[in-house]
Structure 1
Amino acid sequence: MEILHSREQEQLTTFENNMKTIDPQKPVLVTGGSGYMASWIIKYLLDQGFTVHATVRSIHNRAKIQHLLDMEHRSAGTLKLFEADLLRENAFDKAMRGCELVIHTASPFRLTGVKDADEELIRPALQGVQNVFSSAYGSTTVKRIVLTSSIVALIGDTIEIADLPNKKVDENCWNTTSTISHQPYPFSKTIAEREAWTLSKQMDHFDLVVINPGLIFGPSLSKRIDSTSISLMIQILSGKFRTGVPKGAQAVVDVRDVAKAHIRAGFTPQASGRHLVAADLADFLDIARIIRKNYPNYPLPQKHVPKWLFKLIAPLLGYSRQFVERNIGYDFKFNNTYAVSDLNIRFTPFEKTVLDQVDQLANDQLIADKR
């Protein structure tokens, strides 16, 4: 399978002629290397012959890193793994040596089941940014940091979109309503990105480019199911929502497109600012309709649940009633034109994204194949 479109291949192979910022012969650091999206970034870089420094929590946990080792063996590139803790000062110093580009993806992603938001989400996200930037500041080589933020750093609750000047979310928006007690994950992404912009102004020998992805779907490079995106698809397929799903379309995007956007952000000299990387609007019922075409026997949802009913049972599913009131029943409207033009993105059709992911889950027997 061709890894990149021919146009993308041309851009990657013309780095040596056009690069004003990053030397493609130098290693690239990717933090959170074993993660769902970071693994795709590493794969694309390795397939193009890059040397990749990747940080992971433990280099001894083979279950979490084996897919990275396997992809290195199948590629033209070189992979070097380093242990790093988001909460530890100087944790990224060694991994960053010799790197001109740092892609910082590492940050906890959890929407439900959070018991201590400060310990599980806020501190790792914020101190992770601080420690990565501190290592970059002490480096003599780093020229650019690409930060994985999120669309939730742009807006808190979906209901707020109606109050925006153009009724759509774009890169000019900031989430000002999430707090540690209401929407702690969006709050963690917001304060981490704000901190990154503050630090980048103070440390002006490297620049910052930010990727703000929508809700990510698509196939995984590992068999892990602890990713929120993977577990959400498994829940849809398992029958958990067979009685119905809440109404409201979300901004969705393919994990492979998000990975490519990070690479583009790193190696496009003129790339700057924030980039809302989302392709389509879809709700859970749209996803179920796509799956049903190829997998008609799964216990998929066939209707929307009334908002009052979902609000009643929301705490049992890990959502607050305040969240339901402010997010369910409203379509997420967005403008992605800046990201498309600045990074020259071409998005994967969402139907392919969903079916590629479900095919993989079935083939890997992570869900029962009921065809």
Structure 2
Amino acid sequence: MTKTVLVTGGTGYIGSWVVKELLEMGYRVRVSVRSFNRKDKYLHLQNLPNSSNLLEFFEADLLIDGAFDNAAEGADAIIHMASPFTLRFKDPQRDLLDPAVKGTRNVLGAANKSSTVKRVVLTSSVAAVHGDNIDMKEQGLTEFTEEHFNTTSSLKHQPYSFSKVNAEREAWQINAEQSKWDMVVINPALVLGPSIAQNSNSESLQIMKVLLSGKYRFGAPELYFGFVDVRDVAKAHVLALENHSASGRYIIAERVANFMELVAIINKNFPDQYKLPKMVAPKGLLFLVGALFGLSPRFVARNVGYRIAFNTNLSRQELGLVYTPFEQTVTDMVNQFRNN
């Protein structure tokens, strides 16, 4: 019998790749959309292989109680990915925290009411593992693992990270209060790679666009991130769905790198084609001009110049994830920008 999976956030940057994977494997896929009237948001999914007979859409709003109940009934599993990823917001409570936490409560409430859902795969983030890069040093760690939770973010400092850790903690709480379905959580690092959705406004795509635009050509901040290919994040969700022994959290990262290492890959594969930074911007200067790049003094103080490390053994050993090399991820992404 064909298994049915409800995917929230399935029209997004990562979600579109998840839907593609599931359709290719023969799953019946239900995708929630905020409004049927915004066809531009989900048209790209209708062009995927097997979509004509295996894909259906449900209208649902994260903030409306019971909005996902119909879509969850009859589904064997839910992949909950819908949550705002934006660094451009006016009100962090309204624009980040409420959709993340209330949306999680709503979708998992639908899992509770469903007579068929047996597994939930939740998209969290390494932002739920740590808040600032300095956390690793302050906590006396040599690397972050799945045991760590972000305790340093707030609505005023790193509100996006605050929304992710609160949503994930809420999910674990709801999961602990029932026994009908089990849950696996995916904690990806910064996601890069090509997009299926041509009109995606994902922050990941914006970061690469800004870098290629020349905005940082006079110097890039010495910021270290975990990086991972969007296609690997999608695979991790499907592996978590299919592997019955998968449990708990999985950090998903191919490597940690800084902006200049990313620049070196672009320069190597696309020599002299972009106005890329030639040097690291001095930290002292960033305190003065950081606001131009959206960096608060506190963010600069607690992140610039601090290395981080992630232990990804569980994703490799338990999920069996084989990572795409970072250079291929970056090259494929830049090529897509060039061809559009």
TM-score, normalising length from structure 1? 0.89
Aligned residues: 339
* Residue type of the alignment partner of 1:26: K
- Identify which of 111, 114, 127 aligns with 1:139: 114
Q: Deviations over 1:27-60 (max 9, x none)?
A: 1110011100000000011111211000111222
Give the equivalent residue in structure 1 for 2:203: 228
Alignment of 1:301-340 (within 5 A): 301-340=277-316
* Partner residue, 2:27: 50
Q: Percent identity?
A: 46
- C-alpha distance after superposition, 1:188-216 (max 9, x if no partner): 00000000000001122111110000000
Q: Secondary structure at the match of 1:81?
A: strand
1:97 shift after superposition: 2.0
| 1:350 CA displacement | 0.3
Q: Using the alignment, how far apart are the partners of 2:118 and 2:229 within structure 1?
A: 28
Tell me if 1:25 matches 2:2: yes
| Cα distance in structure 1, aligned partners of 2:112 and 2:63 | 17
- CA-to-aligned-CA distance 1:151-173 (integer Å, 9 cap, x gap): 01011110010134542111010
Q: Does structure 2 conserve the Cα–Cα contact (< 8 Å) formed by 1:49 and 1:77?
A: no
Question: Are residue 178 (structure 1) and residue 153 (structure 2) matched?
Answer: yes
Distance in 1 between residues matched to 2:253 and 2:76, nearest whole Å:
27
- Provide the rounded CA distance (Å) in 1 between the counterparts of 2:62 and 2:228: 26
- Scaled by the length of structure 2, the TM-score of the pair is 0.97
- Per the TM alignment, residue 329 of structure 1 is displaced from its structure 2 partner at its CA by 0.6
Quick one: distance in 2 between partners of 1:360 and 1:279? 21
Candidates 236, 241, 251, aligned match of 1:276: 251
2:14 matched to which residue of 1? Answer: 37
Alignment of 1:213-292 (within 5 A): 213-292=188-267
CA distance in 1, matches of 2:20, 2:152: 36
Matched, 1:162 2:162: no
**Using the alignment, how far apart are the partners of 1:261 and 1:166 within structure 2?**
26
**Alignment match, 1:66:** 43
The answer to whether the 8 Å contact 2:13/2:200 transfers is no
2: distance between equivalents of 1:225 and 1:107? Answer: 14
Query: Is 2:107 the counterpart of 1:104?
Result: no
1:141 shift after superposition: 0.4
Q: Deviations over 1:234-254 (max 9, x none)?
A: 101000111110113211000
State the partner residue of 1:15: none
Deviates further, 162-171 or 239-248: 162-171
SS in 2 for 1:223: coil
CA contact (8 A) 2:7 2:32 kept: yes
Give the Cα–Cα distance (whole angstroms) in 2 for the partners of residues 38 and 222 of structure 1: 10
* Contact persistence 2:193–2:229 (CA under 8 A): yes
> 1:199 aligned to 2:181?
no
> Which residue in 1 is equivalent to 2:100?
125
- Runs of 4+ in structure 1 off by over 3 angstroms are 163-166
Identify unmatched segments of 5+ residues in structure 2.
none
Question: Secondary structure of 1:235's partner?
Answer: helix
| Higher mean C-alpha displacement, 349-358 vs 279-288 | 279-288
Instruction: Please tell me whether the aligned partners of residues 47 and 76 of structure 1 are also in contact (alpha carbons under 8 angstroms).
Output: no
The C-alpha deviation readout for 1:285-341, integer Å capped at 9, x for no partner, is 111111112322211111100011112111222221101100111112111111211
Unaligned runs of 5+ in 1: 1-23, 365-371
SS in 2 for 1:343: coil
